[in-house]
């Protein structure tokens, strides 16, 4: 197991000795890419659950209030202004889920530049 950013982080975190602590963002799987993938899947599932929670609550509230039916939701076509908002939200989701890939690139850049 490697420790990602360690060095000074270690000493600051263990002023009286003890077990050396891993620094920020340790890599725990043998392959950094697989490590990042597991983190991405976990983050993705969290985002999925957040959305499901929101949707379930929203639909239940609206149906209970008699505002909409499930059929109205299924058949809705958004105007262009809302479509742009949805695209922005989509891009933010992709950034959130796939940020680990950028971390792998940044780490590789540091490693390669140090050679």
Partner 1 sequence: MTPEQALIPEASRRADTAYLDFVEGIREFVLNERDGLDHDIDQLFAALEQRRGKAYASYDEVAEVMDRTAVGPLRNRLMRTQQEMQWRRIVATLEPKRAALEAELTSYEERGPGELLLDPAFQTPDYANVHFHLQPGGYHKDTLAGYLYHYSTKVFFRGLNDSDAIHKGAAKPTPVPADGQVNRILDLGCSIGQSTTALKEKFPQAAVWGIDHSAPMLRYAHRRSVSLDIDVNFAQRLAEDNGFPDGHFDLVYSMILFHEIPTRIAEEVVQEVARVLRPGGLFVAHDFVSSNNSTPLQLYHREFDCRYNGEPYAQQFCHSDFQGMMERAGLKLQRRIGDGYGFMNTWWAER
Binding site for partner 1 (CB under 8 A): 1, 12-22, 26, 28-30, 35, 38-39, 42-43, 45-47, 49-50, 53-54, 57
Pick the closer one to partner 1 by CB: 46 or 108. Answer: 46
Q: How far is the CB of 47 from partner 1 (least distance, A)?
A: 8
Determine the Cα–Cα distance for residues 36 and 44; give it in Å rounded to an integer: 12
Q: How far is the CB of 111 from partner 1 (least distance, A)?
A: 20
Rg (CA), the chain: 22
Q: How far is the CB of 12 from partner 1 (least distance, A)?
A: 7
Paired tokens of 73: 């939701």
Q: How many residues does the structure list for the chain?
A: 115
Determine the Cα–Cα distance for residues 77 and 33; give it in Å rounded to an integer: 39
Pick the closer one to partner 1 by CB: 50 or 73. Answer: 50
Residue among 86, 99, 109 at smallest CA distance from 37: 99
Pick the closer one to partner 1 by CB: 31 or 74. Answer: 31
Q: How far is the CB of 26 from partner 1 (least distance, A)?
A: 6
Pick the closer one to partner 1 by CB: 19 or 77. Answer: 19
Determine the Cα–Cα distance for residues 108 and 115; give it in Å rounded to an integer: 11
């Amino acid at each position: 197991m490697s420790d990602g950013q360690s060095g000074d982080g270690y000493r600051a975190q263990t002023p009286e000795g003890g077990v050396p602590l891993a620094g920020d963002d340790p890599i725990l799987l043998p392959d950094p890419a697989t490590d990042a993938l597991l983190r991405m899947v976990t983050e993705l599932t969290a985002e999925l659950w957040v959305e499901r929670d929101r949707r379930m609550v929203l639909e239940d509230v609206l149906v209970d209030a008699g505002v909409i039916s499930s059929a109205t939701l299924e058949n809705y076509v958004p105007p262009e202004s809302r479509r742009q908002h949805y695209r922005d939200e989509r891009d933010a989701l992709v950034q959130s889920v796939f940020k680990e890939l950028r971390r792998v690139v940044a780490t590789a850049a540091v490693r390669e530049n140090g050679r």
